[in-house]
Structure 1
Amino acid sequence: MTTTTTTRPAAVPGARMEAEMRQQPEVLAALVDRWPALTAQVAALTDGAPPLGVAFLARGSSDHAALLGRYAVELRTGLPTCLVAPSVATAYGRAPEGFQGWLLVALSQSGRTPEIVDLARRYADAGARVVAVTNDGGSALAGAAHLSIALEAGPEVAVPATKTVTGQLLALLALAAGLAPGGFGSAGLTQAQAAALPDAVARVLADAESAERAAALLADHDRLAVVGRGACYPAALESALKLQETTGLMAHGFSTADFRHGPIAVCGPEAPALLLAGSGPADADTLDLRDALAARRAPILLAGAAPEADLPWPALGHLGDCVTATVRGQQLALATARRLGIDPDRPAGLNKVTMTS
């Protein structure tokens, strides 16, 4: 009797990450559908009176989303904002004070990071109104908040966060719109503008070849700078993080303005620069870096709305550029990891939930 053995095909490296990336247009479209409800809930939380200020509490990718939140709130409302330093309370033992009348926006994709949950409760006790932005509406963080914005992105299994990050970005743009329904000029994002994002992201995801060509350059180097300004600055930080955790490359994210003040010196023939430049008023400054980088003989990858971009995305003309830029960064990290023979679904020494306390 003869027996045959069936061999299962090896899993494609990064299959989970790629599958979750491809769900982003659907996740974003669902958030756009909820836009009127989300903005109304935020407006109701403040009882028609703006808070004295808005503080953001986050770690990791959520911290990068919080940075976009700061831009959106400051542009839309003019309110003072800050990023909370968790260690002030957790390591140094300083209880939060002076936040009566403030809004605290606590971000955690899982909603289970002990440090974020604990601090959300402490800030609520200090008089802040707390908004939780998390993928799990039944999480401990959601339970500690006065208002929970659940991303409802479905399970995210891959260690590199993708759909929950872009979901957070759009949720924070909705939050800013809810804080000031009239807005200031053209600042912030309208529902109509948000509605164009799912298609823009789908177009980026459909263009995998650009990312594969760019990955061929990055795979020959072990360090790089990722640079952006304005809406693209949070995306630069997030793209650098995605490259770090999926490939092990020494990638660092910089504000264009800060990059000019010294870090540009790290770039040269062996250290390329990835420039993120969308279609906003801060992006011309990033494009202007090309001459200085060329003088240093640094390889340059340009991602953005310019016709000559190596990694293009549609010109949006608003803070939504951060979403498309972030997706391009995810795509590049995945392609680079695969080119290096690394499975980004199993990054060494990393877990899905980081249990800081």
Structure 2
Amino acid sequence: MTDTRLGRLMEAEMRDQPRVLAALADRFTRIGSEVAELFTRAGEGFVDSSDGGAARSNHAAAGDPAGVADSPVGVAEGPVGVAFLARGSSDNAALLGRYAVELQTGLPTCLVAPSIATAYGREPAGFRGWLLIALSQSGRTPEIVDLTGRYIAAGAKVVAVTNDPDSALARIADYTVALEAGPERAVPATKTVTAQMLAVLAIASGLGAGGMTQLEAAELPAAAADLLADGGAVERAAELLATVDRLAVVGRSACYPAALETALKLQETTGLMAHGFSSADFRHGPIAVTGPGAPALLLAGSGPADTDTLSLREPLSARYAPIVLAGTATEAPITWPALGNLGECLLATIRGQQLALAVARELGIDADHPTGLAKVTLTH
């Protein structure tokens, strides 16, 4: 029998996700609109929003020290490109944002490689007119704060996504989306990750038509609550995964960031050698890591790319690899509802959190305090 006292903080923070997501869903349209205003008011400050400090403009109050106010006022209608800056779990939320922006706008997007500047000394250039979305749960990671300042100097507008609206990152951004998730004390990030995911979908909604709507965002809290109340199939899957030492976690499109985040949660909570893959990349060689003692966890929602993930079952079976299926398919033992939008990434991520906690408990590990890890990782 597993010890449910282990990982109590992580479990409590997971169960807080419906509240956090509901508060963000209430601000969903406002966030998107105010991000869009950064480019219609180029060079101008704007009045702080009235949502209790949840989002605000900072450069006007700071005298715009980076000099980005030199750009023409009122000319731009949107960014010419979007860059995402993050590390760790925040990087997985950033990947979801990249999908959303590319899908809705067709704009060039990129995930910033921080070491290009911090290790190799190459300063960012050519980013005037771009939007940089900087994600850091604490807002204190030195390289994220440092790089954000460099992109501001290069002419980018900056939106910070952080749980601390008074952090160093928030203070230098043009606009801050505060997650308002409350304290998160367990080392594995849970409620701040899904909050970041919803925040980037809100940001993307302001950049182009056809993105998630506020009504669709409002469906997520109840869906999350239903999943969190349903752990039976997850616990049965955890019994299998607690007996192996390596695992492939596979998804595509909206489920790819969730696959990466699930693999990360399993790594940090259990020490399992879990690795996340796009189903397309998985076919290009990594499928060879699976076999009788090396299962695959398939995350497949209701999107057009998810059929590719489901089709992996035949080659995996031919390798005698155990398969754990989670998603919207009727035969999936671990389920989430078919929403038909990128919000399914959040639901897949919650299933991954549940699985990581359940495996840790099977192994007798306290997921709240993984050996050798700290809550805030101060990379430079």
> Displacement, 1:144?
1.2
Aligned to 1:28: 21
Which of 218, 224, 231 is matched with 2:254 structurally? 231
SS in 1 for 2:297: strand
Aligned-partner Cα distance in 1 for 2:367–2:333: 23
Instruction: State how 1:1-357 maps to structure 2 within 5 Å.
Output: 12-47=5-40, 49-180=77-208, 183-184=209-210, 188-357=211-380
SS in 1 for 2:206: helix
Aligned-partner Cα distance in 2 for 1:194–1:41: 17
Aligned-partner Cα distance in 1 for 2:340–2:197: 16
SS in 2 for 1:303: strand
The letter for the 2-side match of 1:305 is T
Equivalent pair of 2:29/2:213 in contact (CA under 8 Å): no
Aligned-partner Cα distance in 2 for 1:328–1:20: 14
Measured against aligned partners, the alpha-carbon deviations of 1:209-245 in whole angstroms (never above 9, x if no partner) come to: 1111010010110100000000000000000000000
> Displacement, 1:35?
1.3
CA 1:149–1:90 in structure 2 vs 1: closer, same or farther (change >3 Å)? same
Aligned-partner Cα distance in 2 for 1:196–1:95: 42
> Displacement, 1:36?
2.3
The letter for the 1-side match of 2:360 is A
Aligned-partner Cα distance in 2 for 1:232–1:35: 21
Aligned-partner Cα distance in 2 for 1:315–1:100: 39
Aligned-partner Cα distance in 2 for 1:43–1:87: 29
Measured against aligned partners, the alpha-carbon deviations of 1:274-316 in whole angstroms (never above 9, x if no partner) come to: 0000111110000000010000000000010011112111111
Measured against aligned partners, the alpha-carbon deviations of 1:51-93 in whole angstroms (never above 9, x if no partner) come to: 1100000000000000000000011111110000000000000
Aligned-partner Cα distance in 2 for 1:128–1:43: 14
Aligned-partner Cα distance in 2 for 1:105–1:116: 11
Equivalent pair of 2:301/2:328 in contact (CA under 8 Å): yes
Aligned-partner Cα distance in 2 for 1:201–1:15: 18
Aligned-partner Cα distance in 2 for 1:99–1:330: 36
Equivalent pair of 2:4/2:361 in contact (CA under 8 Å): no
Equivalent pair of 2:248/2:290 in contact (CA under 8 Å): yes
Aligned-partner Cα distance in 2 for 1:328–1:11: 17
Aligned-partner Cα distance in 2 for 1:127–1:161: 32
The letter for the 1-side match of 2:341 is H
The letter for the 1-side match of 2:128 is Q
Aligned-partner Cα distance in 1 for 2:261–2:4: 26
Aligned-partner Cα distance in 2 for 1:249–1:11: 20
Aligned-partner Cα distance in 1 for 2:8–2:206: 37
Equivalent pair of 2:17/2:194 in contact (CA under 8 Å): yes
Structure 1 window deviating more from structure 2 (195-204 vs 249-258): it is: 195-204
Runs of 4+ residues deviating >6 angstroms:
none
> Displacement, 1:12?
1.1
> Displacement, 1:50?
1.3
> Displacement, 1:11?
8.5
Aligned to 1:7: none
Aligned-partner Cα distance in 2 for 1:235–1:11: 25
Q: TM-score, normalised by structure 2?
A: 0.89
Gaps of 5+ in 1: 1-9
Aligned-partner Cα distance in 1 for 2:350–2:4: 23
Aligned-partner Cα distance in 2 for 1:340–1:151: 32
Q: TM-score, normalised by structure 1?
A: 0.95
